[in-house]
Amino acid sequence: MLRRIVVKIGSSSLTSSEGGLNREAIAYFATELAGLIQAGYQPLLVTSGAVAAGFREIGYPERPKLLHEKQASAAVGQALLMQAYREELARHGVSAAQVLLTRSDFQNRKRTGNASMAIEELLKHNVLPIINENDTVSVDELKFGDNDTLSALVANLIRADHLLILTDMDGLYTKDPRLDPAATRVSRVSEITGEIYAIAGGAGSAVGTGGMRSKIDAAKIASIGGVPVFVGKVADPGDLLTALRGDGRGTYFEAHGAALSRKKQWLGFFSTPIGTLTVDVGAEEALIHGGRSLLPVGVKAASGHFHTGDVVEVVSADGEVLGRGIVNYDVEQLHGILGLPSTEVVKKMDSVHRLEVIHRDEWISLKA
């Protein structure tokens, strides 16, 4: 199978600072994507830019702030965006298709499966999927991020070999290079820690809605699913292929773990935890490094109003989020057996269908 590459392009790379499409930029990216295909790769494009492309066309003097104005701008801009991509890609003999997704599409496992099958069919027929958030009906993605999370989820969904997040900054810096000439670029990140988040800045453009922090969030999601990530800038001919091969102008985030199933994606990134379990050091080690289930003996505290089959968040003794899992006990049952070894749990409860509080098959670690 051809190596699959997800390329994400943000608004600031596609539009002018005043709004409206930059056709030269789109022509450049179309050439770069065609270059990947010619080199034997199978790219998918996750693009932003619908709102930025449309607000001038619809008559707004500046990027709108009200939700319904953004939605109207996206409705106009998405058509303009796809038209531009299709025209420029056609110059290289590449066919393209529009795929619009929302957060709720990933929350529903059946809809996620349908989206996956549609994308697979497009790739089978050598059609480049161009994926965007459906901003006309979506709320969350218009407020938070610039399709960075979407690109990571798509990368996990199709089990991509790499995710390339393109931006107008050439990677993550120790400080803001626009303000501090002593700032240095972080070339490689092996683990996304609190320190990495601390040096990530906010949004850098009035046109887009994403910043470096949202790109690190995306890199964490992708890397948990086994997809390495590049965050950086491409501007010259051949830069996209150079970035893919490891010599790009940006920051490389190493992958951790194997490809995630759709169930694990849902559990980790779209489920809603109903409660919280605090575990001791031994249980943390068993969950994170031992590949084992969570037993009552390792649970120190339980909060929330959850029941058997609900999703709960698991945290360490100092409050660090370790992951999520599907719990096998009601909260009242669990309060009666906290910290007890399995032999005591069997004696204390009338019937025990499963000893594990969370079985390892119903668990996902969110700690790097």
Q: Are strands 311-315 and 95-101 parallel, antiparallel or unpaired?
A: unpaired
Higher pLDDT, 17 or 280: 280
In this structure, are 256 and 288 located in the same domain?
Answer: no
Residue 273 predicted with pLDDT over 50 = yes
Place of tokens 């887009």: 208
Q: Is 210 annotated as a binding residue?
A: yes
- The answer to which of 67-76, 83-92, 307-316 has the lowest mean pLDDT is 67-76
Cα–Cα–Cα angle for 66, 72, 77, nearest 5°?
Answer: 120
| Residue 120, CA distances (Å) to 37, 128, 264, 340 in order | 16, 10, 20, 48
**What's the pLDDT at 260?**
79
Q: Is 48 annotated as a binding residue?
A: yes
In this structure, are 250 and 277 located in the same domain?
Answer: no
> What domain range includes position 318?
271-365
Residue 208 predicted with pLDDT over 60 = no
Q: Would you give the end-to-end CA distance of the chain in angstroms?
A: 29
Q: Is 59 annotated as a binding residue?
A: no
Residue 270 predicted with pLDDT over 70 = yes
In this structure, are 50 and 132 located in the same domain?
Answer: yes
In this structure, are 73 and 193 located in the same domain?
Answer: yes
Q: For residues 250 and 230, is the Cβ–Cβ distance under 8 A?
A: yes
Phi, psi of 220 (to 5 degrees): -65, -45
Q: Is 184 annotated as a binding residue?
A: no
The answer for residues whose C-beta is within 8 angstroms of residue 318's C-beta and 6 or more apart is: none
In this structure, are 332 and 203 located in the same domain?
Answer: no
Q: How far apart are CA 10 and CA 208, in angstroms?
A: 7
Higher pLDDT, 7 or 113: 7
Higher pLDDT, 114 or 143: 114
Q: At 234, which CATH number?
A: 3.40.1160.10
**What's the pLDDT at 2?**
82
**What's the pLDDT at 264?**
86
Q: Is 8 annotated as a binding residue?
A: yes
**What's the pLDDT at 141?**
46
Q: For residues 42 and 123, is the Cβ–Cβ distance under 8 A?
A: yes
Q: What type of residue sits at position 216?
A: I
Q: How far apart are CA 174 and CA 184, in angstroms?
A: 6
**What's the pLDDT at 195?**
87
Residue 317 predicted with pLDDT over 60 = yes
Split at pLDDT 50, 70, 90, the class of 263 is confident
Q: How far apart are CA 87 and CA 91, in angstroms?
A: 7
**What's the pLDDT at 203?**
42
Q: For residues 257 and 222, is the Cβ–Cβ distance under 8 A?
A: no
**What's the pLDDT at 20?**
87
In this structure, are 41 and 61 located in the same domain?
Answer: yes
Q: For residues 47 and 8, is the Cβ–Cβ distance under 8 A?
A: yes
Average pLDDT over residues 319-328: 95
Among 229, 263, 297, identify where a domain stops. Answer: 263
Among 238, 263, 288, identify where a domain stops. Answer: 263
**What's the pLDDT at 143?**
46
- pLDDT per residue over 54-72, tens digit each? 999 999 999 898 989 999 9
Q: At 324, which CATH number?
A: 2.30.130.10
Beta-bridged to residue 9, according to DSSP, are 47, 166
Average pLDDT over residues 126-151: 78
Residue 9 predicted with pLDDT over 80 = yes
In this structure, are 335 and 259 located in the same domain?
Answer: no
Residue 210 predicted with pLDDT over 50 = no
Higher pLDDT, 346 or 141: 346
**What's the pLDDT at 202?**
47
Among 201, 231, 263, identify where a domain stops. Answer: 263
Phi-psi region of 219 (alpha: psi -120 to 50; beta: other; left: phi over 0): alpha
In this structure, are 189 and 242 located in the same domain?
Answer: yes
In this structure, are 237 and 311 located in the same domain?
Answer: no
In this structure, are 74 and 41 located in the same domain?
Answer: yes
In this structure, are 289 and 257 located in the same domain?
Answer: no
Q: Is 225 annotated as a binding residue?
A: no
**What's the pLDDT at 352?**
62
Q: Is 147 annotated as a binding residue?
A: yes
- pLDDT per residue over 96-138, tens digit each? 999 999 887 877 778 888 999 999 999 999 999 999 988 777 7
- The answer to which of 73-77, 155-159, 162-166, 173-177 has the lowest mean pLDDT is 173-177
* Closest residue by Cα to residue 147 from 45, 69, 230, 55: 45
- Distance of alpha carbon 119 from its chain centroid, rounded? 17
In this structure, are 187 and 305 located in the same domain?
Answer: no
pLDDT, mean over the chain: 89
Q: How far apart are CA 132 and CA 136, in angstroms?
A: 11
How many structural domains is the chain composed of?
Answer: 2
